[in-house]
Structure 1
Amino acid sequence: MDFGEVLKIEFMKVKRSKIVPLIFIAPLLVVASGVANLCHYITPEYTNAWPAMFIQSALVYAYYLLPFSMIVVCVMIEGRETGNNGILKMLALPVSRYLLSMAKFCVLVFYLFMEMAVFFAVFVIAGTVATRTMGVVETLPVFYLVKWCVWLFLTMLPCVGTMWAITVLFEKPLFSVGLNLLLVIPGVLVANTPLWIAYPYCYSGYLVSCSLHDFTVESGTAAFMLFPFLTVAVLVFVLMVVAAVIKFGKKEMR
């Protein structure tokens, strides 16, 4: 059985799960509250309304709601196997457990992509309604919104990789959820220290904080520096994914 077939099976397993409704909750909550708050300050003469609404919505979303929803998705994907000893049945098949782990992680990344797509769509709809209601004449900056949503997706990958590794390492879902939550909560504090670069749970939030700085200061120099962040982020992502692949199913095979 090749990787494509294994991946197809993994998508079939989660087809009837409640993951899809779950990924709508966080974008709807954060966009509705963020856009509604700014509507009290937007006037027809207001400029840069779209960036202001995006930053207002994405700040809490990137630091907390997006990581929280991904923690739940991790547990739900892993739970498809741990329930009723399904993992033992899968490991008994002539399929590499490494392929199984990579396929599950690809499903997790797919749902991360879907949530970002939902966030983009919900934000565009809410922002359009807000600007028209307040009489703001400003063109929808599609490239700006797509660019920042792509950046949010990419900066979340090391965090998602770490979450998945922790979910695989701990047999009890309560432990993995608790540890991931404890690591998410201080993200906004770590982002304000030099240690942020080694803390994947704050990457997306730090990105939005930098965009807020660029928006308010309007300087020619961007606050978010791609290097050495890119090197560290790729290293963290690779290490966490490799650890998850190696450890997946190992304790059940003993």
Structure 2
Amino acid sequence: MLKNAILTEGLKLRGSKIALPIILLPLISVLLGSGNYAVNPHELTNGWYSLWTQVALFYGYFFYPIIIAICCAYIMRLEKNNHNWNAVMTYPVRPRTVILSKLIIIGFISLIVQAFLIILYLTAGLLLGVKGSFPLDILNFCLCGFTASLAVAAIQLYLSMVIKSFALPIGICLGTCVLGLGLCVTGLWMLYPTSLLVKSFSALNQAALSPLEFILFFILSALYLFVFTRLAIRRLTRRDIVTP
């Protein structure tokens, strides 16, 4: 049943314009980051890591969570149009399956975006003549970023379900991106999923998470994911969300 629900969610996105931000925002991030790297060769002397800090500055702090927010708002908007929730709830599918299928689709999109970013980053580094071998730490940063993105997706799916406006949940995400950056700078990166995302990309200090931070990071990501997924499932089971 879950497999069929996931395939259905994928079909709903076919022919949509959701691919536009998925392609453009990582590309813009790499172009801006590469430009900063190219014009500051004397300050950015740590090769691939320096290039990564410049790319992640735009991508990890703002563009990546915004991509997640846009996808969540769009996938929920499809159900809100013409009271489609009523039709969904007439299907022999549990609310849990509906929410999980949407979350899995967003996770799949997030994974594609991360892979696309790595390709763009590697291409930019080669074109800029960055010396040294490709650091595997970058893959670790991206894996942690993907994990945090699932927690962000759970929150954004819930907000997009509760809020009727398409743009407002995206605006809230943008605000929490600024909040997440501030929390990370002050050392309180564990307080919100967007701050987990900022911490995961390690653009502030070019250092990977310590073993203790790594464990705490994954525990908190799982906790946020579980709590907000449960909230979304609980809301979907309530009658008022499926009535006109």
Tell me the TM-score range normalised by the shorter chain: 0.7 to 0.9
- Tell me the equivalent position of 1:111: 109
In structure 2, the CA distance between the partners of 1:191 and 1:248, relative to structure 1 (3 Å rule), is: same
8 Å Cα contact 1:91-1:249 kept in structure 2: no
- Tell me the equivalent position of 2:175: 182
| Counterpart Cα distance in 1 of 2:97 and 2:147 | 23
8 Å Cα contact 2:30-2:55 kept in structure 1: yes
| Counterpart Cα distance in 1 of 2:132 and 2:172 | 44
- Tell me the equivalent position of 1:57: 55
CA drift of 1:185 comes to 2.6
2:133 counterpart letter in structure 1: T
8 Å Cα contact 2:68-2:153 kept in structure 1: yes
2:57 counterpart letter in structure 1: L
Q: Are residues 1:41 and 2:33 paired?
A: no
Deviations 1:89-126 (A, max 9, x none): 22122222221111111111111111111111111111
Report which of the two structures shows the higher radius of gyration computed on alpha carbons. Answer: 1
- Tell me the equivalent position of 2:184: 191
CA drift of 1:30 comes to 1.0
| Counterpart Cα distance in 1 of 2:219 and 2:142 | 21
* Other structure's SS at 2:185 match: coil
Note the aligned Cα RMSD (angstroms).
Answer: 2.5
Of 160-169 and 22-31, more deviation after overlay is shown by 160-169
* TM-score normalised to structure 2 length: 0.88
Q: Are residues 1:138 and 2:114 paired?
A: no
* Other structure's SS at 1:248 match: helix
Q: Are residues 1:151 and 2:144 paired?
A: yes
- Tell me the equivalent position of 1:203: 196
In the alignment of these two chains, the number of paired residues is 241
* TM-score normalised to structure 1 length: 0.84
Of 167-176 and 49-58, more deviation after overlay is shown by 167-176
Q: Are residues 1:230 and 2:201 paired?
A: no
Identity of aligned residues (%): 20
- Tell me the equivalent position of 1:129: 127
Structure 2 unaligned residues grouped into runs of 5+? none
Structure 1 unaligned residues grouped into runs of 5+? none
8 Å Cα contact 2:27-2:117 kept in structure 1: yes
Deviations 1:137-169 (A, max 9, x none): 42333x333222112111222122111121122
Q: Are residues 1:7 and 2:1 paired?
A: no
| Counterpart Cα distance in 2 of 1:91 and 1:28 | 39
| Counterpart Cα distance in 2 of 1:208 and 1:224 | 17
In structure 2, the CA distance between the partners of 1:194 and 1:138, relative to structure 1 (3 Å rule), is: closer
Structure 1: which 4+ aligned runs deviate by more than 6 Å? none
